[in-house]
Amino acid sequence: MIDVFVVAILTALVQLNLAASIKPGPAALAFALSVIFTMLSAQAFDPRLIWDRADDDRHDRAARA
């Protein structure tokens, strides 16, 4: 969420219409949503589940042999 605040601050600070201009427009909403979805997916991800699945597969193969 800090990135969205940086966009807002830069938009407020940059008033150099001749040299540069910043207009976040609808892209700011898309960027904010991508940041939010990334944060949610990082919270939901549990790498231990990958290792548990690998251990289960290894034990199943050993039991069949």
Res 24: pLDDT: 72
User: Closest Cα partner for 2 from 38, 52, 48, 26?
Assistant: 38
Report how far residue 39's alpha carbon sits from residue 46's, in angstroms, rounded to the nearest whole number: 13
Report how far residue 48's alpha carbon sits from residue 46's, in angstroms, rounded to the nearest whole number: 5
Res 25: pLDDT: 81
Q: Which domain holds residue 50?
A: 2-64
Res 40: pLDDT: 93
Per-residue pLDDT 10s for the chain (65 aa) are 567 777 777 777 776 666 666 677 888 888 889 889 999 999 998 887 777 766 666 666 667 76
User: Closest Cα partner for 39 from 1, 5, 3?
Assistant: 1
Q: How many domains does the chain have?
A: 1
Q: Cβ(14)–Cβ(21) under 8 Å?
A: yes
Report pTM.
0.47
The residue type found at 32 is A
